[in-house]
Structure 1
Amino acid sequence: MGAGQPLVRLAGIRFGYRDRPVLEGIDLALEAGETLALLGPNGAGKTSLMRLAAGRLAPAAGTVRIDGADPFRERAARRGIGWVPQEIALYPRLTVAENLSVFAQLAGVPRRARRAALAEALALADIAAVADSLVATLSGGFRRRVNIAASLMNRPRLVLLDEPTSGVDLAARAAIHGVLARLRAEGTAILLTTHDFSEAERLADRVAFLAQGRVVREGRLADMLAALRVGAPERELILTAAADPAAEAALRRAGFAPAEADGLRWRERRAHGHPGLDGAALLGSLRAQGVPVAEVRVRAPGLEALYLDAVRPRDVRADPIAGPARSRGAAR
């Protein structure tokens, strides 16, 4: 990697399936030891972008470079990438150690180095205690950790994870976060997708929001959140029933937008959603307009607020205020 050059660079990426465009004009970079979370609604192109970075697909236009090399055309570049799909890709009738040995061979690890690579991966993923257990007997959380370990047999400089904690309990999620923290501390670049905002806030140095095949916002997470929290706290409304058209119009005039698909939770979309009204007055005003609102909550805005503002179509946003300092605003 040349001086001052990122480990991962995607420039001007366009990609599609037959006549259906998936990604348009994607530009992203990732440094060694940095974690970037891709957030976006289903169908935004996140998994396709991950596959392009892994060298599993070739872009229709633009370039993908991992340490200066094209991973689609150069096998050596692909060997420096660990790919962890959302689906568990293990042999259930083999033990954990046997699985990792197979993946070491597939990754091109020389025979003489496989024992050391196996021990290192077991330690890094903290799964040495189940090394001799059949994968079929393991919990979902352990299977996911073994899935990650399988991608580390060649000590890749870049690890790609698609929904790494999908379907696991809190203890397993914490263990997987520990694995990723150890990778990052050792200088591994991590690119991940997740629908879990708290997970992204905990793991990511930077976030990129994808919508309709484009990166609509990208930057350092700490900077985005600091700018977001300069303004007033965010208010959230809890409804007892979905709003009818008249109530929905009243909510939007007051500066709120739906935060969930069921329409029972609405979040403030401007720095001062309803000027001059405190929580009680806002509650009374909305109820007088036929809005079935039960309570008003005050919360510190977080990544979910950034996400909602970033991916919501412009024509349905409630009076957005230009500039990152006033942004409000999660992804696949």
Structure 2
Amino acid sequence: MQAAPPLARVEGAALSYRDRPALSGVDLVLERGTTLALLGPNGAGKTSLIRLLAGRLRPDAGSVRVLGGDPQSDRGTRRTIGFVPQEIALYPRLTVAENLDVFARLAGLPRRERREAVAAVLGRCALAAVTDRIVATLSGGYQRRVNIAASLLASPDLILLDEPTQGVDLEARAAIHAVLASLRAGGAGLVVSTHDFSEAERLADRVAILADGTIRREGSLTELMRPLTSAPPEHEAVLEGVLDAAAEAALRRAGFSPLDGDHRLWRADHGAAGGLDGAALLAALRQAGVPAAEIRVRRPGLEALYRDVLAAAPPLETAA
């Protein structure tokens, strides 16, 4: 008896925009009831990969299959896929219910099924309180939940989400995470593109790290994180003043480097802080003229793995 195909399979996928490579030789398999987090810098190919899986793009080479069908050419296959783009793709002057009714029609649901489908996704995404509100008057968190609800009307098997919590507050983020967890528990497969490492650790069973259009590391989150359990702690120096040249040199000698996007935070990982504990390190840095307000000590997480993978740029490795 032939085994059922995986929920999604990408083999040797390549894609270019105006002769500029976006993806090159991507291989990926996703099973039902699994959440895959896509991580990578801007331009790594995360959105391109999601759009290939959604059938919005055709690969220049290789193949993309969802439940054995081609999402780009087969309408029936596309009906098994829910796609949630990064931008809010709603009608701002319509109510939540009116938006969902429009998307139910676009999904091809018969009239007798539309009302039930709309009611179901309103409940699943906890939107009952805003059903009759105009979308433009909603908070960003509610708009993103409506965006997700619109993708669920046809009860898809595969749900693709591009930065689903971008720009929302902690309460809205928790609500969206609850929706995604319930979808996974219901047997759907999810692919979530995110820059949020804590979100990936919370949601994902598997992780794929992309850079320059290729998957640099892919595997189960548990196996990928296992080597970090015995790794030395990370130290973050929180600065309260401007660094002069001598203070910056002292920080770098201690193994610290600045974090992108925040000049107040410098990090030392892999035990680079000389084996000192937080209090001793803070005292040593202050004695060297570094305007350090505090030292934060923490166990390395997914972000540390991500930095190591991008720095080393190894070939594809898979953890079972």
Report the TM-score when normalising by structure 2: 0.87
Q: Deviations over 1:221-279 (max 9, x none)?
A: 22323321222222223345676787667655544443333444232232x32555444
SS in structure 2 of the partner of residue 14 of structure 1: strand
Cross-structure match for 1:170: 170
Shift of 1:88: 1.2
- Give distance in 2, aligned partners of 1:290 and 1:142: 47
Q: CA RMSD in A?
A: 2.7
Corresponding letter in the other structure for 1:307: Y
Q: Is the 8 A contact 2:256 2:273 kept in 1?
A: no
Equivalences for residues 142-157 of structure 1 within 5 A: 142-157=142-157
Shift of 1:89: 1.1
Equivalences for residues 253-332 of structure 1 within 5 A: 254-270=254-270, 272-275=271-274, 277-279=276-278, 282=281, 293-311=292-310, 313-314=311-312
Compared with structure 1, are the counterparts of its residues 254 and 189 closer, same or farther at alpha carbon in structure 2 (3 Å cutoff)?
A: same
- Give distance in 2, aligned partners of 1:4 and 1:56: 25
SS in structure 2 of the partner of residue 229 of structure 1: helix
- Give distance in 1, aligned partners of 2:312 and 2:36: 25
Cross-structure match for 1:222: 222
Cross-structure match for 1:134: 134
Q: Deviations over 1:74-106 (max 9, x none)?
A: 111111110111111111222222211111111
SS in structure 1 of the partner of residue 58 of structure 2: coil
Cross-structure match for 2:209: 209
Compared with structure 1, are the counterparts of its residues 110 and 86 closer, same or farther at alpha carbon in structure 2 (3 Å cutoff)?
A: same
Q: Is the 8 A contact 1:242 1:262 kept in 2?
A: no
Gaps in structure 2 of 5+ consecutive residues: none
- Give distance in 1, aligned partners of 2:106 and 2:38: 28
Q: Deviations over 1:85-130 (max 9, x none)?
A: 1111111222222211111111111222212212211111121232
Compared with structure 1, are the counterparts of its residues 71 and 262 closer, same or farther at alpha carbon in structure 2 (3 Å cutoff)?
A: same
Q: Deviations over 1:129-177 (max 9, x none)?
A: 3222222232222211111111111110011111111122222111111
Corresponding letter in the other structure for 1:62: G
Shift of 1:45: 1.3
- Give distance in 1, aligned partners of 2:283 and 2:120: 61
SS in structure 1 of the partner of residue 62 of structure 2: strand
Shift of 1:184: 0.9
Corresponding letter in the other structure for 1:308: R
- Give distance in 1, aligned partners of 2:246 and 2:27: 42
Gaps in structure 1 of 5+ consecutive residues: 325-332
Cross-structure match for 1:199: 199
Q: Is the 8 A contact 2:235 2:295 kept in 1?
A: yes
Q: Is the 8 A contact 2:86 2:162 kept in 1?
A: yes
- Give distance in 2, aligned partners of 1:310 and 1:289: 32
- Give distance in 2, aligned partners of 1:61 and 1:246: 53
Q: Deviations over 1:180-231 (max 9, x none)?
A: 1111111111111112222222111111111121111122222323321222
- Give distance in 2, aligned partners of 1:280 and 1:171: 34
Q: What is the percentage of aligned positions where both structures have the same residue? A: 63
Compared with structure 1, are the counterparts of its residues 29 and 244 closer, same or farther at alpha carbon in structure 2 (3 Å cutoff)?
A: farther
Cross-structure match for 2:57: 57
Q: Is the 8 A contact 1:26 1:215 kept in 2?
A: yes
Cross-structure match for 2:97: 97
Q: Is the 8 A contact 1:260 1:266 kept in 2?
A: no
- Give distance in 2, aligned partners of 1:124 and 1:131: 13
- When the two structures are aligned, how many residues end up with a matched partner? 315
Compared with structure 1, are the counterparts of its residues 289 and 170 closer, same or farther at alpha carbon in structure 2 (3 Å cutoff)?
A: closer
Shift of 1:50: 0.8
Compared with structure 1, are the counterparts of its residues 278 and 180 closer, same or farther at alpha carbon in structure 2 (3 Å cutoff)?
A: closer
Q: Is the 8 A contact 1:242 1:263 kept in 2?
A: no
Compared with structure 1, are the counterparts of its residues 137 and 251 closer, same or farther at alpha carbon in structure 2 (3 Å cutoff)?
A: closer
Cross-structure match for 2:82: 82
Corresponding letter in the other structure for 1:297: R
- Give distance in 2, aligned partners of 1:115 and 1:278: 60
Q: Is the 8 A contact 1:52 1:64 kept in 2?
A: yes
